[in-house]
Amino acid sequence: MTRPDHPKGKCCGAVIAAWLLLFIGTQPVSVADDTGAAGQSVEAAEFMGMDICEACHEDITIGMRMNPHGQAADSRTPFAGEGCETCHGPGSLHVEADGESAAGMLGFNADKGESTQRQNTACSACHQGGSFLHWPASAHEHDDMACSSCHRVHTPDPVLERTTQAEACYQCHTSIRAQSYQASTHPIREHKLVCSDCHNAHGGMGPAQLRQLSINENCYACHAETRGPFLWEHYPVTEDCSLCHRVHGSNHPALLTQQGPQLCQLCHQDIRAQGRRHVSRFLDFDDADAARGRFIVGLNCMNCHSQVHGSNHPSGAYLLR
């Protein structure tokens, strides 16, 4: 191994330094302007400060001071750093162009050819970890959605406001909007329940980007009385709430997937009580007991089996009490 003070070692060090200067030090990093073409180097653009931005964009900068991103006293916000340029990038070239060109500044506008990756990288510089932990594997990221597709920064964010969040989600999830207008539904239209109460749009470990690991755990957050454990369990209940309920809306009572007793008869097709046969399917009557069959079908299994989610009563084996 050559010593650093050896003449040969000094020569090699000089060659390496010259090589680095030639191939790295002289190569500026290019950025893209609003036309998508290669623009000036990053070194050529400088930060101008908030006063320069406000001279042209006064309405935006005034509004930003009422925005969580615009709190200069909070070291976590963009305005505590370089102001607008913290997110949009240095603006000296933009000023020199009299605002006619973005000159490499990020405008968070896909219509101008700005890539989703570049937009989201700017946001993820601050928004990472916690509820954003699973974003790289989320459905929205997989669909190449930019943060600005849903969120607004210069104006009140419709996603963060409970009275407008559902409509923001409905822009894509139109079938869910239709279900929310059915006869039986969660109080979504009344804004008592919003999408983010159950789902994490930035990704989650559970199905359908739920906040919990399973559908049942998600439901138990509000419906704790159905959690159990019960002395007498109803096994579909412990397996998956959505086996019986449609969570976004249904035309049957209690958001059921079907009306009773048809729903119960999907599993209970041959039930006998006190030696007499329960009707097993709709229109499954026999001539000798047609009146009794119609009586059962016309009502509901839960008229008698009222503890359908489970029972702790010693005599509740059949979920009657």
Q: For residue 15, what is the enclosing H or E element? A: helix 7-20
3-state secondary structure of 304: coil
Domain hosting 151: range is: 134-211
Residue ending a domain, choose from 176, 211, 246: 211
Domain count for the chain: 3
User: Which whole number is the average pLDDT over 231-256?
Assistant: 94
* 214, two tokens: 């399973």
Q: What is the pLDDT of residue 250?
A: 96
d(CA 79, CA 61): 10
User: Which whole number is the average pLDDT over 47-51?
Assistant: 89
> Is residue 152 situated within a structural domain?
yes
Q: Are residues 231 and 286 in the same domain?
A: yes
Q: Which residues contact 148 (CB under 8 A, 6 or more apart)?
A: 108, 109, 110, 119
Q: What is the pLDDT of residue 288?
A: 52
* 286, two tokens: 């026999």
More confident residue, 92 or 10: 92
Least confident of 40-49, 168-177, 214-223, 257-266: 40-49
> Is residue 83 situated within a structural domain?
yes
> Is residue 124 situated within a structural domain?
no
Q: What is the pLDDT of residue 140?
A: 95
> Is residue 319 situated within a structural domain?
no
Q: Which residues contact 32 (CB under 8 A, 6 or more apart)?
A: 38, 39, 104, 113
Q: What is the pLDDT of residue 287?
A: 52
Q: Contact 209/201 with Cβ under 8 angstroms?
A: yes
pTM for this model (two decimals): 0.75
Q: Are residues 295 and 226 in the same domain?
A: yes
User: Which whole number is the average pLDDT over 298-305?
Assistant: 77
> Is residue 111 situated within a structural domain?
yes
Strands 38-41 and 272-273: unpaired
> Is residue 7 situated within a structural domain?
no
d(CA 242, CA 2): 72
Average pLDDT, the chain: 81
Q: What is the pLDDT of residue 293?
A: 52
Q: How confident is the model at residue 39 (pLDDT cuts 50, 70, 90)?
A: very low
> Is residue 1 situated within a structural domain?
no
Q: What is the pLDDT of residue 43?
A: 56
Q: Are residues 231 and 206 in the same domain?
A: no
Q: For residue 293, what is the enclosing H or E element? A: helix 290-298
- Which amino acid is present at 224? A
Least confident of 35-39, 90-94, 144-148, 273-277: 35-39
> Is residue 295 situated within a structural domain?
yes
Q: What is the pLDDT of residue 181?
A: 95
Q: What is the pLDDT of residue 296?
A: 54
